[in-house]
A and B are shown apart, each in its own frame.
Chain A
């Protein structure tokens, strides 16, 4: 078993290359830059291409272009750059193009700061770009998952011809943990719809424009059917010590790691606490959460935001459990102690 102590941001690139990605188009931004650094180093070593684009706007359009050409392709950024990429993400969704976007979230809004944050949830999960679309959003909470979920992102992107976002945060990107790398995939099969400068592909057209409203409506219906299929098949989540729990903590990304420690300590103190961690933020693991919600009295959602995912939790559980929210923002990561003191303790009295 070969493991490597590696930064989350670098694990992303190795995972991507092993999954068959050969094209990276990016623009520097802390705390995501190491992804570009590693891509610049490694892509040429496997025959691939790295370009530092003139902006995130251009970088995502290069992703659009390489995707049209049938390649596995990615980009990475953080909040301010993700905002610029939203144009391209909408076009990719409209034109049904696969591609992987890594968002290493930092404090916002505006320039904010470079500390960990989860304020991009709504931007990614609820839209960001214009029009009726979804991206598949995966939320890693370890360096291993930075690798594994990036690789999975490519598979899902191709399977559903849709952009996939790996929604990470500054700590998961900057930290180092041991990572076990998967086997390298063989060359992915040629995509029949690609535009490749060949006779077989000459008749192909990639576009997102349809001027006749009824036909555009039919296209969106087609997208909806696809999204239904994604919701049906692709939700992922993890639970921790939920057996017999009367209280459920819900969090994703680095917050879920803090919550895991909080669960351990709370259990030591005799509290019946468990953890539910969505791994896919869209599609949101509704069924699984709903089933658990029926068994507990109280749900505490913890986010590094002013309350974004909590809306999805509330929609999901309805009146089955009382849902509270605890948030830190601006780049502040909640500590285990404050979860115990501010979130769990008050319910015990």
Chain B
């Protein structure tokens, strides 16, 4: 059939040296199979378009797993169905490469269904050649998503039934509903004339990729006499009467004109200023703490707890940041994930003169509680002789423990007076450093600069901290 009119293109190996065994001249495909014909059409197109060196061919799982025996391109063999994902990445790394994902119907429409859908939807600038032979060839003729109703396969011995197996999937029609793809056409290899159309479609799809016009897919109806259990001649009749009747040939989408040709993207991967590009720290001299806290306040492990939204994570983060700037070892662990939503939040902070072993604070030496449930929950865990600071504007009970030091701060009222109750967390922070002298006011100010993203809030926070420091000092 069509293969006879083709001479051997340069992109097709002269001799198949990658094939094991003595036979290096014939392909591993069955007589009458469409794969070999299609390989040659692709090779010929690559020759004519002058892109042989640029082509990267993704070999699927299926009968064409060894396409690399024949096609003289850069070749990658991949897992079943994953060719579009692999092709995506190759193209992103090498925009100048012409990346071809070659897939069967099991590979593309069944196991790799989501992969092709998503690559098409992203509009990846790749070319997909989709061989629809309505059967799993390689594994011995099982049902494919594209097998026809009534078609007998190894796994539909009574014929495909819509009730049990669903209907044959029309991939082109499906993908053409997406915005992403640029060009989608279904062709056939049944006659020389149809093969010529296939030849054209292949070229167009590759041309589009060369011009960076986006995603193209050509579905090729292709004979599988072995899988269909008929001789090659009869297989062509079945294609005409059955396959092409269900899978209509033609162009389903072509918006190439609306997506004008572009040059390959230029990227500079190696000359970024890392400091700004990925926000690296600038040199800061760690200042050793000038204030020397009383021994019982040194090397604290803190738990800071309240409602989500009260800023307890930020409070802890600011303390840890100030601790680091003061030359301490620090750790900060937040509560995270769905636990945070609407409920309570807490964090665990370690600030230490020594390298910190466990960052987990199960028995805090300091508890900062900003709501009642947190005080109820964590007060019993405070270490003997530890320190409890709580927001007395929101917590209307006295601590139960008598073996700890406790300070009640009207943090929310103070913050309200400053104009924003959300600064209560910083009042608590101020009170803690005012009470213990662990961190200098300056280190906290520097930390604020690093942790507060909305700079217009910094002033408010400074005022809140200063108020807190007063309360803390007053409680010394």
**Contact at B278–A64, with CB atoms within 8 Å?**
no
- Inter-chain CA distance A2–B66, complex, in Å, is 53
Residues of A within 8 A of B92 (CB): 23, 49, 51, 66
Q: Given A174-B336, A199-B53, A206-B76, is A69 in contact with B94 using a C-beta cutoff of 8 Å?
A: yes
Write the chain B residue with the least CB distance to A53. B85
Q: How far is the CA of A73 from the CA of B85 in the complex (A)?
A: 14
Distance, CA A333 to CA B360, complexed state (A): 9
B427 within 8 A of A: no
B88 lies within 8 A of A186 (CB): no
CB-CB under 8 A from A68, the residues of chain B are 76, 86, 90
Closest to B57 in A: A195
Q: List 15 A-B contacts (CB under 8 A).
A: A3-B284, A18-B278, A23-B93, A46-B272, A175-B334, A176-B320, A181-B280, A181-B281, A196-B56, A197-B53, A198-B97, A202-B55, A206-B75, A254-B360, A337-B362
Please indicate the chain A residues that have their CB under 8 angstroms from the CB of B334 in the complex: 174-175
Residues in B whose Cβ lies below 8 Å from that of A177: 330-332, 359
**How far is the CB of A280 from the nearest CB of chain B, in Å?**
21
B336 touches A30 (CB 8 A): yes
Check: A57 CB closer than 8 A to any chain B CB. yes
Interface size class of A (residues with CB under 8 A): 35 or more
Q: Once bound together, how far apart are the Cα atoms of A15 and B219, in whole Å?
A: 43
Interface residues in B55-85 (C-beta closer than 8 Å to A): 55-56, 59, 65-66, 68, 72-79, 82, 85
Asked whether any CB of chain B lies closer than 8 Å to the CB of A349, the reply is no
Chain A, range 326-349, C-beta contacts under 8 Å to B? 333, 335-337
CB-nearest residue of chain A to B277: A45
Which A residues are in CB contact (< 8 Å) with B73? Answer: 202
Q: For residue A260, which residues in chain B have a CB less than 8 angstroms away from its CB?
A: 357-358
- Whether a CB of chain A sits under 8 angstroms from the CB of B118 is yes
6 new A-B contacts at CB < 8 Å, known A47-B270, A187-B270, A197-B96? A62-B88, A202-B55, A205-B68, A205-B75, A207-B76, A336-B358
User: Which of A208-216, A225-233, A315-323 touches B?
Assistant: A208-216
Contact B272 A45 (CB under 8 A): yes
Q: How far is the CB of B213 from chain A (nearest CB, A)?
A: 18
Within 8 Å by CB of A45, from B90, B278, B359, lies: B278
**Residues of chain A at the chain B interface (Cβ within 8 Å):** 1-5, 13-14, 17-18, 22-23, 25, 30-31, 42, 45-49, 51, 53-55, 57-59, 61-66, 68-71, 73, 87-88, 91, 95, 114, 170-171, 174-178, 181, 184, 186-187, 195-199, 201-209, 211-212, 215, 254, 257-264, 333, 335-337
**Residues 303-338 of B at the A interface (beta carbon under 8 Å):** 317, 320-321, 324, 329-334, 336-338
Residue A176 contacts which of B54, B78, B332 (CB distance < 8 angstroms)? B332
Task: Out of A61, A178, A196, A199, name the residue touching B324 (CB < 8 Å).
Answer: A178
Residues of A within 8 A of B286 (CB): 1, 3
The distance from the CB of A146 to the nearest CB of chain B, in whole angstroms, is 13
A171 touches B333 (CB 8 A): yes
Assuming the contacts A54-B114, A201-B74, asked whether A65 and B324 have C-beta atoms less than 8 A apart, the reply is no
Q: Does B99 contact A (CB under 8 A)?
A: yes
What chain B residues lie within 8 Å of A70 (beta carbons)? 93
Taking beta carbons and an 8 Å cutoff, which residues of B are in contact with A? 18, 20, 52-56, 59, 65-66, 68, 72-79, 82, 85-90, 92-94, 96-99, 114-115, 117-118, 122, 267-270, 272, 274, 277-284, 286, 317, 320-321, 324, 329-334, 336-339, 356-360, 362-363, 450
Of all A-B residue pairs in the complex, the 9 with the closest CB atoms, nearest first, are A197-B97, A65-B89, A261-B357, A260-B357, A207-B77, A65-B86, A69-B93, A61-B85, A195-B74
Nearest CB in chain A: distance from B164 CB, A:
27
Across the two chains, which residue of chain B brings its CB closest to A34? B336
Looking at B88, B122, B281, B357, the one whose CB has the most chain A CB atoms below 10 A away is: B357
**Which chain A residues lie closer than 8 Å to B333 at the CB level?**
171, 174-176
Across-interface contacts of B270 in A (CB, < 8 A): 47, 186-187
| Residues from chain B with Cβ under 8 Å of A114 in the complex | 336-339
Q: How near does chain A come to B358, taking the closest CB pair, in angstroms?
A: 4
Smallest Cβ distance from B152 to chain A, in angstroms? 29
Given A175-B333, A175-B359, A176-B331, answer yes or no on A69-B89 (Cβ-Cβ < 8 Å). yes
A202 touches B114 (CB 8 A): no
Contact A87 B79 (CB under 8 A): yes
Q: Is the CB of B337 within 8 A of A257?
A: no
Is the Cβ of B278 less than 8 Å from the Cβ of A196? no
Are B52 and A202 in touch, CB under 8 angstroms? yes
State whether A207 touches B278 (Cβ < 8 A).
no
Q: Are A18 and B274 in contact (CB under 8 A)?
A: yes
Assuming the A-B contacts A63-B89, A335-B362, are A195 and B272 also in contact, with contact meaning beta carbons closer than 8 angstroms in the complex?
A: no
Residues on the A chain within 8 Å of B77, using CB: 95, 205-209
State which of B53, B54, B269 has its C-beta within 8 Å of the C-beta of A187: B269
* B74 / chain A contacts, CB cutoff of 8 Å: 195-198, 201-205
Could you say which of A3, A25, A31, A46 contacts B277, with CB atoms under 8 Å apart?
A46
Min Cβ gap A105→B in Å is 14
Asked whether, in the complex, the Cβ of B277 is within 8 Å of the Cβ of A42, the reply is yes
CA distance A241 to B49 in the complex (A): 68
* Cβ-defined partner of A257 (8 Å) among B89, B268, B358: B358
Contacts of A57 in B (CB 8 A): 82, 85, 115
Report yes or no: B359 in contact with A195, Cβ–Cβ below 8 A: no
Is the beta-carbon distance between B336 and A64 smaller than 8 angstroms? no
Cβ distance A96 to chain B, nearest Cβ, rounded Å: 13
Minimum distance in angstroms from B285 CB to a CB of chain A: 9
For the complex, give the distance between the alpha carbons of A202 and B281 in Å.
43
Partner among B20, B66, B331 whose Cβ is within 8 Å of the Cβ of A215: B20
Shortest Cβ distance from B102 into chain A, in angstroms?
Answer: 14
Is A195 a contact partner of B76 (Cβ separation < 8 A)?
yes
In the complex, how many angstroms separate the beta carbon of A107 from the nearest chain B beta carbon?
11
Assess the B359–A171 pair: CB atoms within 8 A. Answer: yes
Check A65–B358 contact: CB distance below 8 A.
Answer: no
B336 near A207 (CB under 8 angstroms)? no
Choose from A202, A206, A257 the contact partner of B53 (Cβ within 8 Å).
A202
CB contacts (< 8 Å) of B281 on chain A: these are 2-4, 181
A259 to B272, CA, bound (A): 41
Which residues of chain B are near A333, meaning CB under 8 Å?
360
Q: A30-B337, A64-B86, A197-B94 are in contact. Are A47 and B358 (CB under 8 A)?
A: no
CB distance from A35 to the nearest CB of B (A): 13
Query: CB < 8 Å: which of B87, B320, B336 contacts A5?
Result: B320
Q: A196 near B97 (CB under 8 angstroms)? A: yes
Measured CA separation A96–B172 after assembly (Å) = 35
Taking a contact as CB atoms closer than 8 A, the residue among B79, B269, B279 that contacts A22 in the complex is B269
Q: How many Å from the CB of B245 to the closest CB on chain A?
A: 33
A residues near B362, Cβ cutoff 8 Å: 335-337
| Chain B residue contacts of A58, Cβ below 8 A | 82, 85, 114-115, 118
The docked-state distance in angstroms from the alpha carbon of A59 to that of B74 is: 22
Chain B residue nearest to A207 (CB atoms) is B77
Complex contact A31–B337 (CB within 8 A): yes
Instruction: Report the Cα distance A186→B271, complex, angstroms.
Output: 9
Given known contacts A1-B283, A171-B359, is B79 in contact with A46 (CB within 8 Å)? Answer: no
Residue of B93, B98, B114, B115 contacting most chain A CB atoms (<10 Å): B93
